[in-house]
Amino acid sequence: MDVRADAAGNLRGLYAGREPGAARLLIGSHVDTVPDAGAFDGVLGVVLGIGLLEALGGRRLKFAVEVVAFSEEEGVRFGVPFLGSRALVGTLDGDLLGQKDAAGVTVDEAIRSFGLDPGRAGEAVLSDDVRGYFEFHIEQGPVLDSLALPLGVVDAIAGQSRLTFVFRGRANHAGTTPMHLRHDALAGAAEWILAVEHLAGGVPGLVATVGRIAAKPGAGNVVPGEVETSLDVRHADDATRGRAVDALLDSARRIAARRGLRVEWTTQLDQPAVPCNPALTATLGRAVAAAGFQVHRLTSGAGHDAMILAQKVPVAMLFLRSPGGISHHPDETVRPEDVAAAITAGLSFLHELDRLA
């Protein structure tokens, strides 16, 4: 492959095709990770893309294949995800470049310190000669493992809402403030967190998570006066997700009012659900079947670079089983036989696309 790093730090390798004018296929995933994570989320998809081309044994397809290792997908450092793939669709704008990390370093400064020029981000944008985008990824969930299946064809990526809530009451002495005179922000937040769990449990396909909570002043002998929490809501249907978020906002208001608290919230992300391309996904399904594996369709509850690339090109995704359903954890792993199955199905996919080119 001819390899280069673009202005957003994405590493891109181009494997030329036999017909120079043929639209190329992108294969990719990300190489960043979350704290205390495993070794396969994202990185496996990049290595499988390279391995798939290696498995061609030097054979050239009619079309070129470009493998992309996205520099940033998780949003850990700057609080905004998909910086790498946003560069390819042309949405790595001034606001994103101005985002700061915990040390006050901007995305722009981080890119420049890496020896790249964010002013040339336009050169990373995909041209019109891209046929589609294909991503291998571990499922990051228990469905395939529960079905004893090595592979799954993704039909859609769930939409996401991410918000921050702040409950404000009044800090006071834990020993001298009677229970009926308290304005305990933590107790109010705790009641609301249980309401989040209850609502999500009653809506098929909906998941809602409060994964972060911080109480102030944070002393064991002080009634908490302020609590900040996160909220993550996901569903494949945007209308269902929107109704759930509205219901949880109303729940927070009612709980705060009854307890003499104030509550405020801000929205960090409102990412619509993204359907995978029907034609490309159907081709992938035929390839999985031709490789000798059962075709199981499923929705991804996790976000992926594919949902960003879908703004510009058709996308398809192939999941590999996550043993135990474990991900974002050091015990995250993958079975070698599933990797072999993915390579076999991937080759079948490339051959089918070559036949249709």
CB-based contact 340:48 (threshold 8 Å): no
Task: Report the interhelical angle of 185-201 vs 238-258 (nearest 10°).
Answer: 150
Topology at the third CATH level for domain 159-271: Alpha-Beta Plaits (3.30.70)
Quote the CA–CA distance of 138 and 150 in Å, as a whole number.
10
Q: pTM of this prediction?
A: 0.84
Which three-class secondary structure state does DSSP give residue 318?
strand
Residue at token pair 């499923």: 298
Q: Quick one: pLDDT at residue 154?
A: 97
- Terminal CA-CA length for the chain: 21
Q: Quick one: pLDDT at residue 53?
A: 97
Other Cβ atoms less than 10 A from the Cβ of 247: the count is 16
Q: Quick one: pLDDT at residue 80?
A: 86
Into which CATH architecture does domain 2-157+273-356 fall? 3-Layer(aba) Sandwich (3.40)
Reported for 243-247, long-range contacts at CB under 8 A and 24+ positions apart, including other chains, are 244/199, 244/200, 244/203, 244/206, 244/208, 245/161, 245/163, 247/199
Q: Is 284 exposed, middle or buried (0-12, 13-18, 19+ CB in 10 A)?
A: buried
Quote the CA–CA distance of 41 and 338 in Å, as a whole number.
15
Give the DSSP per-residue string, 70-126.
ES--S-TTTS---HHHHHHHT---HHHHT-B-TTS-BHHHHHHHTT--GGGGGGGS-
Query: Strand (E) positions, 139-187?
Result: 151-157, 159-168, 172-173
Q: What are phi and psi of 110, to 5 degrees?
A: -65, -40
Q: Quick one: pLDDT at residue 21?
A: 87
* Domains of the chain by residue range: 2-157+273-356, 159-271
**How do the pLDDT tens digits run along the chain, 357 residues long?**
999 999 999 999 999 999 988 999 999 999 999 999 999 999 999 999 999 999 999 999 999 999 999 999 999 999 888 999 999 999 999 999 999 999 999 999 999 999 999 999 999 999 999 999 999 999 999 999 999 999 999 999 999 999 999 999 999 999 999 999 999 999 999 999 999 999 999 999 999 999 999 999 999 999 999 999 999 999 999 999 999 999 999 999 999 999 999 999 999 889 899 999 999 999 999 999 999 999 999 999 998 999 999 999 999 999 999 999 999 999 999 999 999 999 999 999 999 999 998
Q: Quick one: pLDDT at residue 20?
A: 87
